[in-house]
Structure 1
Amino acid sequence: MDKRKFKIKTTFIDREQELRLLHNYLEAQPNSILFLYGLKSSGKTTLLYRLCDELAEDKSYEIKFLNLRKIFLDSYEDFLQAFFKTRNDRENGLKVSTKRQYSMFGRMLKGKKEDPFLVMEREFQKLVKKGRKPLIIIDEFHKLSGIYLPEKQKTLITELMNFFVAMTKESHLCHVIIASSDAFFIEEVYNDSKLRKTSAFQNLDYLSYADVKEWLFHTNRYNEVANFSLNENEIELIWETVGGSPWEIQYILERLFEFPLTKIVEKIKRERVAMVADWCFQDETNERKRLMKFFLDHSVQPIQAFDPSQRSILGEAVHDNILFYDPVEGAYGMQGKSLEWGIKEYFLSKFI
């Protein structure tokens, strides 16, 4: 438990439906890989940590949680070192079970010659015989892209995916949850016919309007703040500016100790206009500007709305966190409500 004192704390806002979906996946015999994807900073990592906290009370689970965002990975050996280490890999100030480690492997490989996949499979078999349920969670899985096995002919991601298919759909030994904020990685997986037939996909969106209202009406409860409260008009202004983006809402709350809400909102809008302007300015062909006009009236557009020749420019927008791509729904959308404001204000500028 985090005993440090702050004037405002971060919080976990109700994700009951999403947690229920994760629990439903785990309550069935392993038969597929679950991919968790979604907008940047939609709370995927926090949701997975909350799941682990809830499962910590259930002694039947053995969990390996690997957050690749916290690990420098440059080689296959780096991955092995990270995957087979034993320590509590917990953070973020959520409830922590001190008696439990989110790591099921109690030793390193014997040298570098032992097949790590065989080591994992044997461990899973031992756990299953004891009535335990192995669970592997890897966050930011796409960070393994570009890492090859020692013989340099096979990629680590490909071999891991094949192994996870074998452990879930074929052997039913282990549940696997993979989270990624990289839309193109999810697209690659989704378009792979073999993986699509062995995987489930869950999109984690931003918070709903109802959840945001519940949070902001009760900041004293959720953020342990006693210095201010928000009225309905202020809550509406926050929602209209950043929508249900948890990080941006927290950003606003932290600045309310020093600045009025209207000033904070104006600053956010100016920053988003500058972001869109800078992105469009880097393109001498004006293709980026023309693309942005697609999203003036509708923040989400089906892939059919675009010409195949625009695929490259769409890819740039996704890579630069201007747009989000959902390959399962086949749609492109803005990376949050604040960027919708950025586009609208950009095209209203007298300089455009």
Structure 2
Amino acid sequence: MTRQLDQEVEPAVTPADPPAPNAARRVLHAIGPGNLSLIGALIVVVAIFGSLNSGFLDLANLAGIGEAVTVFGLLAVVQTVIIICGALDISVGSQAGIASVVSAMAFTATGSNAFVGILAALGVGIVVGAVNGLIIVYGRVNPVIATLATLAAYKGLAQLISGGKAQGFVLDNDLFIFIARGKIAGLPVPIIILAVVALGMHILLKYTDIGRNIYAIGGNDTAARLAGININKYLIAVFMLAGVVSAIAGIILTARTGSGQPVSGSEGLELKAITAAALGGCALKGGKGTIGGTLLAVVLLGALDNGLNVVGVNTFWQNVAQGTLLVAAVVIQQRRSGERAVGLPA
């Protein structure tokens, strides 16, 4: 006789869903820990210089900071794309210089036709960017060495075609005046140009297959090649993009100064662009970086430069500060990556 035992069947326990992150955590995740440190540094810089000189916080001065960073901000944004791709372009400042000269000279040669001057500058930007890419890809030259060489070459070319002097005068033209001093919805045109270019780069990197491939190339070029990505084509295209954006920076430089500047307005911009990209979180070995972080670093550098000027610090200290920030950014990246320091035991 079998006895049937009544067994109580316990209901299955489903694991509770993890609590949804609150709004504050979502915001912090979206900003990123690296960007939070930049925001904190920016707040400290603003607080220090604002306390030392009340004029630092004037709206006119803050707007001046925004306009002052547009040229090197454009170069920093496109430098971010290049670094993410695993390369580096040291010649962007010289590219801006030669585009500035060409825009002014074409403007003068065509009887003050601003559109021809702008198109000529953009065309030169495409050519010099393509030259960089072709040297790197088909000459099998390291990007740092290749663009170090073209840095000197483009600078010399700008001086040759201009005779080493500022060329033309564009401030009697409505379009160049609008680029330099115009406003749209209360915002200066150069700031709007920087915002549009930065937004375009952000969308390219984050929401397109092209952007994902750029990250893949910088992260592991061997895996990217095995996945079927044409690395050579991407490198040439990225350097051509750098040439176009550098040309836009050169056009703004021409409009702002009123003439084509072979060297004086563009010298040193490449260091500031690389510093901003590194501070913004770009890994110099590639595969990592964001446009938002770079823009925050651009604003931080602009506030630092302006603050030093406002409180009367010798302008040579700006170069010291930029170099120090670049070293600090690279050291922080090295520590976070966990890689062995060069020359030290494992």
Q: Which structure has more strand as a fraction of its residues?
A: 1
Structure 1-normalised TM-score? 0.25
Structure 2-normalised TM-score? 0.26
